[in-house]
């Protein structure tokens, strides 16, 4: 037997007991890139059968198998002991100490085994203002300021990943009426028993879900919006992105407004997730990801960047504070950094080497973000959450904003090389800071290349 050391999870919280040994659970096995041959799938299937585990699902394109069995069966199969811990934030989660024991022939083949540990992995990056629409803008006002194309996205699809909360049809209908737009085209998709479950609390994850949906809808109103709901765990997060990336037909873009500091991820989870994102890029799916709302520290000690926003295979989206003139043209745009502690994430990865497209802007490691857009809650987006009209900000808004733009310009394939060779198609942000880093001419760790000049970037992308 070999040890999958990269599946180690740090213990966080108080031991409160053990799960019922007869409880049935589902675990995801992710194969490494290039290792999804029939022989490798058969190896996992054979192991499952030999250890009283059922094979519930095989996604060859997504390099994913799902196994089910009792707690006791999984403990016996992988030579681990599962416990329940109470996290300092109050929730109970399943955990194992040490590393999983697996067959020697899985070495270099299996990227990770996820679902045995159920610790919450990510946080959403939205910030809700007091309950009114003062000071904010509708998303289509922001897109007009950035000179986005006036297409409606008909026939295109955007996938949105959510790790909690839900939406109300009544909110979407009210929003459509307010903007005088056609009815929203939206479907919710369950992953790992996740579900569209609105809490009726605007300050909950409902705010994230509403923000993501309504930003996309206001900018590209005829786009098909697929919302993938999954549990907030390594397994749920990765399985949701895998499901979106392998859907038929494939989405033109995937929007993610959740994440966590790089050092909060296990090595196995981070590497497996990054391979999923790499496959998205190879398959022509642009994944837009919020860079974080807690400045250069990402809410921890020192300086940190947020994953998956730090993956070299995503379009990492930072935040600005955008002020418009009465004619909806740009009056000013600076780095988002508010007095309440909210500020755009950004910095230098401690994990991922510099990608080739950043050869001229950073030294050794991936720089975050790639670009930016309006994110300050004081100039945020007018949204309806659980029947309440409010203004919402955060880099959470920028991920769906950019995803909607990519649908409007009908782009296919990774855009990193193009944007870094054409910095003139961005509004360069040269004022402000996110804590450790200051804005400067050209790319910087606060706002990347800057905010999109919509039609100018469209012209460049069309020449690709």
Q: How far is CA 377 from CA 194, 329, 380, 382, in A?
A: 29, 19, 4, 10
CA distance 359 to 362: 6
Pick 268 or 399 by higher pLDDT: 399
User: Smallest Cα–Cα separation from 429: which of 417, 438, 439?
Assistant: 439
Do strands 185-190 and 224-229 pair parallel, antiparallel, or not at all (unpaired)?
Answer: parallel
pLDDT in tens, 248-288: 989 999 999 999 999 999 888 999 999 999 999 999 999 99
For residues 249 and 328, membership in a common domain is answered with yes
For residues 362 and 436, membership in a common domain is answered with yes
CA distance 190 to 389: 27
- Torsion angle in degrees (nearest 10) through CA of 280, 284, 286, 287: -10
Any alpha helices (H) in 358-453, and if so which ranges?
A: 398-408, 416-420
Residue 3: per-residue pLDDT: 44
Residue 410: per-residue pLDDT: 82
For residues 75 and 181, membership in a common domain is answered with no
Query: In terms of residue numbers, what domain contains 29?
Result: 2-114
For residues 175 and 230, membership in a common domain is answered with yes
Question: At which of 81, 114, 147 does a domain end?
Answer: 114
Least confident of 34-38, 303-307, 408-412: 34-38
For residues 52 and 181, membership in a common domain is answered with no
3-state secondary structure of 67: strand
For residues 109 and 161, membership in a common domain is answered with no
Is residue 214 predicted with pLDDT exceeding 50? yes
Q: Are 391 and 382 in contact (CB under 8 A)?
A: yes
Number of structural domains found in the chain: 2
Do you know the residue count of the chain? 464
CATH assignment at residue 295: 3.40.50.200
For residues 455 and 400, membership in a common domain is answered with yes
For residues 44 and 141, membership in a common domain is answered with no
For residues 73 and 197, membership in a common domain is answered with no
pLDDT in tens, 352-376: 999 999 999 999 999 999 999 999 9
Residue 430: per-residue pLDDT: 98
Positive or negative: CA dihedral 368, 374, 377, 380: negative
> Which residues are tagged catalytic?
208, 212, 396
3-state secondary structure of 339: coil
CA distance 321 to 373: 8
> Any residues with CB less than 8 A from the CB of 322 and at least 6 apart, and which?
137, 142, 145, 330, 332, 333, 373, 374, 376, 379, 451
For residues 298 and 343, membership in a common domain is answered with yes
CATH assignment at residue 49: 3.30.70
CA distance 243 to 451: 30
DSSP track, 299-331: TSSS---EETTT-TTSEEEEEEEEEE-TTS-EE
For residues 135 and 32, membership in a common domain is answered with no
Q: Are 125 and 290 in contact (CB under 8 A)?
A: yes
Question: At which of 92, 114, 136 does a domain end?
Answer: 114
DSSP track, 224-261: EEEEEE--SSHHHHHHHHHHHHT-SSPPSEEEE-EEEE
Is residue 10 predicted with pLDDT exceeding 70? no
Binned at pLDDT 50, 70 and 90, residue 5 comes out as very low
Give pTM, 2 decimals: 0.95
Question: At which of 94, 114, 134 does a domain end?
Answer: 114
CA distance 49 to 55: 8
Q: What does the buried/exposed string (b/e) look like for 430-440 if buried means 16 or more CB atoms within 10 Å of the residue's CB? A: bebbbbbbebe
For residues 139 and 10, membership in a common domain is answered with no
pLDDT in tens, 290-318: 999 999 999 899 999 999 999 999 999 99
**Kind plus residue range of the DSSP H or E element containing 128:** strand 127-128
């Amino acid at each position: 037997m070999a040890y999958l050391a990269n599946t180690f999870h740090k213990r966080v919280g108080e031991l409160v007991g053990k799960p019922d040994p007869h409880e049935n659970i589902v675990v995801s096995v992710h194969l490494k890139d290039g290792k999804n041959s029939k022989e490798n799938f058969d190896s996992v299937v054979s192991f499952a059968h030999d250890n009283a585990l059922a094979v519930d699902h095989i996604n060859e394109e997504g390099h994913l198998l799902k196994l089910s069995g009792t707690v006791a069966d999984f403990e016996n199969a992988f030579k681990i002991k599962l416990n329940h811990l109470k996290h300092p934030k109050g929730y109970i989660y399943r955990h194992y100490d040490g590393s999983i024991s697996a067959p020697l022939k899985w070495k270099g083949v299996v990227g990770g085994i996820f679902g045995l540990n159920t610790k919450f992995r990510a946080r959403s990056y939205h910030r809700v203002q007091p309950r009114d629409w003062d000071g904010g803008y509708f998303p289509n006002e922001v897109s007009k300021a950035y000179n986005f194309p006036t297409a409606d996205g008909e026939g295109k699809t955007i996938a949105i990943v959510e790790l909690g909360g839900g939406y109300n049809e009544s909110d979407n209908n009210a929003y459509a009426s307010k903007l005088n737009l056609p009815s929203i085209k939206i479907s919710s998709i369950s992953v790992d028993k996740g579900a569209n479950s609105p809490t009726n609390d605007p300050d909950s994850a409902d705010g994230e879900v509403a923000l993501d949906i309504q930003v996309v809808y206001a900018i590209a109103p005829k786009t098909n919006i697929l919302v993938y709901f999954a549990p907030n765990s390594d397994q749920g997060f990765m399985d949701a992105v895998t499901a979106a990336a392998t859907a038929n037909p494939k989405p033109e873009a995937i929007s993610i407004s959740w994440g966590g500091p790089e050092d909060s991820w296990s090595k196995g989870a981070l590497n497996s997730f990054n391979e999923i994102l790499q496959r998205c890029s190879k398959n022509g799916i642009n994944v837009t990801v919020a860079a974080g709302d807690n400045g250069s520290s990402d809410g921890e000690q020192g300086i940190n960047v947020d994953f998956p926003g730090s993956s070299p295979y995503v379009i990492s989206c930072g935040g600005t504070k955008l002020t418009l003139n009465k004619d909806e043209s740009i009056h000013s745009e600076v780095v988002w950094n508010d007095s309440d502690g909210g500020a755009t994430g950004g910095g230098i990865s401690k994990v991922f080497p510099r990608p080739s497209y950043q050869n001229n802007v950073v030294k050794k490691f991936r720089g975050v973000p790639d670009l930016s857009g309006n994110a300050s809650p004081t100039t945020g987006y007018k949204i309806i959450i659980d029947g309440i009209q409010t203004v919402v900000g955060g880099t959470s808004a920028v991920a769906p904003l950019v995803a909607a733009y990519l649908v409007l310009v009908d782009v296919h394939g990774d855009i990193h090389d193009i944007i870094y060779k054409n910095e003139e198609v961005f509004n360069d942000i040269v004022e402000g800071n996110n804590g450790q880093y200051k804005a400067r001419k050209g790319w910087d760790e606060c706002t990347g290349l800057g905010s999109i000049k919509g039609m100018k970037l469209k012209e460049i992308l069309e020449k690709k």
